[in-house]
Amino acid sequence: MPQDSPQQPQRTDVNELGEFGLIDHLTQNFPLRNPSSLKGVGDDAAVIDNGKFLTVVSTDMLVEGIHFDLMYTPLKHLGYKSVVVNLSDIYAMNARPKQVTVSIALSNRFSVEALDEIYDGIRTACEYYKVDLVGGDTTSSPRGLVISVTAIGQGVKDKLTYRNGAKVGDLICITGNVGAAYLGLQLLEREKQVYLASPGVQPELEGHDYLIGRQLKPEARRDMIDAFEKNELVPTSMIDISDGVASELFHISKQSGVGALLEESGVPIHPDAAMQALEFKLDPITCALSGGEDYELLFTINPNDVDKVKYLPDIYIAGEIVPKEDGVKLNTKGGNLHDIQAQGWRHFDPSKLVR
């Protein structure tokens, strides 16, 4: 390098790319070399061809202070949730989880008893979802707790559901209800702020069991995968709702090369979530679309299959896949069309919430 013109090394802030831009950037020059690597980066799980069965693999990491706050997250629930969020990605491929590995990094703040609590939760999830804990890694961290879980599942070739299979005319379906986990989190955050300001004040969480349960103890929709099998339904595309309906719909649209028209009236919102949103002076549909952590499923079906879902409990038809040129839009109850924005990382100031 010439002495007289010192080169400034380029420094790009990670936030400039955003979460999804960063993943694309980091993984762009990794072509798949093995024919058995059927699906690499970009879906809920990777897919590996093992002959008769396909192996489906997904990893998620939970970091203290980012994904959970131990001020209001019981350790047992944390263990449970860290497994469930991974299983959800396997079900989103229309596959079934069989094994998990669990890796933890912990500071000396955590006792054996505390770790036992976490593993109690992990065990409960393994029992309920019938998966085996088969390995992991344990290391120390300078501060805080990190839990990384990898789930390994099994699927059948012509039944796996990717994010890229949605076709124009397909119907968009959502299971359960969305937005509740986000509102549960806002309630917990609000009470934390109140407590920090005046530690003597009792938390006001009574009557909010449903919303708080949705945040602290989510379940993965194994029952839906069972229902699909029983009714011989294979969705054309599927994703689990971890980042919010808006973000997930954007993934399906982008990867399928289509647009989407979502009907506000078709998006299922639990009455407790709708009430709490209004109390926080938030729009329920915004919470439902941008909230996240519901771990419900968003999927598309061929319209010929409509009878197969119409009578299934807990599945709601919420819109239609449209040509790409039409974009990803929300048709509001008032009949207005709005663009739906994709979101990755979000910043939220809980101190703005009213009590």
Q: Which residues bind ligand ADP (CB under 6 A)?
A: 23, 26-27, 41-44, 60, 89, 242-243
**Contact string (CB under 5 A) for Mg ion, positions 163-202, x = contact:** ----------------------------------------
Give yes or no for residue 117 binding Mg ion (CB under 5 A): no
Q: Is the dihedral of CA 13, 16, 20, 25 positive or negative?
A: negative
Burial of 23 (0-12, 13-18, 19+ CB in 10 A): middle
213: its two tokens = 């349960």
Nearer to ligand ADP (CB atom), residue 37 or residue 107: 37
Which has the closest alpha carbon to 129: 81, 161, 165? 81
**Structure tokens that stand for 24 in this block:** 């694309």
Nearest-Å Rg of the Cα atoms of the chain is 21
Transcribe 204-228 into DSSP letters: --TT-HHHHHHHHS----HHHHHHH
Strand, coil or helix: 338: strand
Among ligand ADP, Mg ion, none, residue 189 binds (CB under 5-8 Å by kind): none
* Closer CB to ligand ADP, 244 or 319, in the complex: 244
Q: Which residues contact 336 (CB under 8 A, 6 or more apart)?
A: none
Distance of CA 155 to the CA centre of its chain: 20
Q: Which stretch binds Mg ion (CB under 5 A): 238-246, 254-262, 296-304, 321-329?
A: 238-246
Q: How many other CB atoms sit within 10 Å of the CB of residue 82?
A: 24
Q: Does position 240 bind Mg ion by CB under 5 A? A: yes
Stretch that binds Mg ion, among 44-52, 130-138, 250-258, 293-301 (CB under 5 A): 44-52
Name the token pair of 189.
């955050």
Distant-in-sequence, close-in-space partners of 138: CB < 8 Å, separation ≥ 6: 103, 104, 105, 106
Tell me if 296 contacts Mg ion by CB under 5 A: no
Which range binds Mg ion by CB under 5 A, 15-23, 219-227, 240-248, 280-288? 240-248
> CB of 215: closest distance to ligand ADP in angstroms?
17
For ligand ADP, the closer CB: 32 or 41: 41
**Which of Mg ion, ligand ADP, none does residue 264 bind (CB under 5 to 8 Å by kind)?**
none
- Minimum distance from residue 248 beta carbon to ligand ADP (Å): 8
SS3 329: strand
**Residue 43 site contact among ligand ADP, Mg ion, none (CB < 5 to 8 Å, cut-off depends on kind):** ligand ADP
Q: How far is the CB of 63 from ligand ADP (least distance, A)?
A: 13
- Binding at 170: pick from ligand ADP, Mg ion, none (beta carbon under 5-8 Å per type): none
- Smallest distance, ligand ADP to C-beta of residue 170, A: 20
CB burial of 52-66 (b: ≥16 within 10 Å; e: otherwise) equals: eebbbbbebebebee
**CB under 5 to 8 A by kind: which of Mg ion, ligand ADP, none does 26 bind?**
ligand ADP
Nearer to Mg ion, 280 or 295 (CB): 295
DSSP codes joined into one string, 274-301: HHHHHHTT--HHHHHHH------EEEEE
Binding status of residue 320 toward Mg ion by CB under 5 A: no
Binds 27: which of ligand ADP, Mg ion, none (CB < 5-8 Å by kind): ligand ADP
Nearer to Mg ion, 188 or 239 (CB): 239
| 44 is a contact residue toward Mg ion (CB under 5 A) | yes
Q: Which residue ranges make up the site for Mg ion (CB under 5 A)?
A: 44, 89, 240
